[in-house]
């Protein structure tokens, strides 16, 4: 596995194992994420991406392995569905469980472009707006590690593009370590500085994306990474070597 680009390590996982009904889903997985890295995780459906994320979030107590899972203290998780509580107003959703954070909550809402919507009910917001509230909620705790499980998967193409810009902007401002699970190779290449492919229970591919900050599909380098990763994913389906 390629080493991360120097600096401090935010996440360290060694020999992680997770079985469901005796079937290994994570099978001796090793992983290191550098502090402040933006990393995307690709893999076939059912390859164990969400399982890995849940383990890192401390939501799965049945993972085993010879090593440890080390993560920073402040970890936030964002899911595909925004998981807002419909009976709480937007600002109350953002600061849920965080005493004395109303001002920070309002600032986080302003950061995601929702100033003035603090008192709205989640049901009054569009899907993209709900997902922005969820992002504000993830950020208000000032996470050192942001785990995102296909946060844009349910959004239309245009909203998704806008959310990419927003996430990248928020990342540059706050610099958490990010692990973004996605099915979308283009999303991975556009957003991440490093892309991993999960296959057969381990990180099978680990690629550093050496492209400028503002990335475009028109850039030939973009296509090279896209082809490489698509090939790696295709090989994971057929069992062929990339």
Q: By CB under 6 A, is residue 182 in contact with ligand ATP?
A: no
How far apart, in whole angstroms, are the C-alpha atoms of residue 31 and residue 41? 11
**Burial status of residue 156 (CB atoms within 10 A of its CB: 0-12, 13-18, 19 or more):** exposed
Q: How many of the chain's residues bind ligand ATP (CB under 6 A)?
A: 10
Q: By CB under 6 A, is residue 43 in contact with ligand ATP?
A: yes
Query: Which stretch in 45-53, 62-70, 120-128, 165-173 sits in contact with ligand ATP by CB under 6 A?
Result: 45-53
Shortest spacing between CB 189 and ligand ATP, in angstroms: 18
Q: By CB under 6 A, is residue 151 in contact with ligand ATP?
A: no
Shortest spacing between CB 44 and ligand ATP, in angstroms: 7
Cβ proximity to ligand ATP, 46 vs 86, nearer residue: 46
Q: By CB under 6 A, is residue 65 in contact with ligand ATP?
A: no
Strand 177-181 to 194-199 pairing: unpaired
Q: By CB under 6 A, is residue 25 in contact with ligand ATP?
A: yes
Query: Which stretch in 47-55, 117-125, 163-171, 213-221 sits in contact with ligand ATP by CB under 6 A?
Result: 47-55
The one among 49, 117, 168, 215 contacting ligand ATP by CB under 6 A = 49
Residues in contact with 161: Cβ distance below 8 Å, sequence separation at least 6, in sequence order: none
Q: Which residue has the tokens 């090793």?
A: 30
How far apart, in whole angstroms, are the C-alpha atoms of residue 158 and residue 155? 8
Shortest spacing between CB 197 and ligand ATP, in angstroms: 11
In this structure, are residues 33 and 4 in contact, taking their beta carbons and an 8 Å threshold?
A: yes
How far apart, in whole angstroms, are the C-alpha atoms of residue 204 and residue 207? 10
Query: What SS3 state is found at 29?
Result: strand
Residues that bind ligand ATP (CB under 6 A): 20, 25, 43, 45-51
């Amino acid at each position: 596995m390629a080493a991360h680009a120097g600096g401090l390590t935010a996440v360290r996982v060694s020999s992680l194992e997770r079985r469901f009904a005796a079937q290994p889903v994570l099978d001796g997985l090793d992983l290191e994420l550098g502090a402040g890295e933006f990393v995307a995780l690709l893999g076939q459906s059912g390859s164990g991406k969400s399982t890995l994320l849940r383990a890192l979030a401390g939501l799965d107590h049945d993972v085993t392995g010879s090593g440890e899972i080390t993560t920073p203290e402040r970890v936030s998780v964002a899911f595909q569905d925004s998981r807002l509580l419909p009976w709480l107003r937007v600002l109350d959703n953002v600061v849920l469980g965080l005493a004395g954070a109303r001002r920070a909550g309002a600032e986080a809402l302003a950061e995601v472009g929702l100033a003035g919507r603090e008192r709205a009910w989640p049901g009054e917001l569009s899907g993209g707006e709900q997902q922005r509230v969820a992002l504000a909620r993830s950020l208000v705790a000032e996470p050192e590690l942001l785990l995102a499980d296909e946060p844009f998967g349910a959004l239309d193409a245009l909203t998704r593009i806008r959310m990419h810009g927003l996430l990248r902007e928020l990342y540059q401002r706050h610099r958490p370590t990010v692990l973004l699970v996605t099915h979308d190779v283009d999303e991975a290449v556009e957003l991440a500085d490093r892309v991993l492919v999960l296959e057969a229970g381990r990180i099978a591919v680990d690629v550093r994306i050496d492209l400028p900050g503002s990335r475009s599909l028109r850039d030939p380098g973009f296509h090279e990474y896209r082809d490489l990763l698509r090939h790696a994913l295709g090989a994971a389906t057929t069992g062929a070597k990339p």
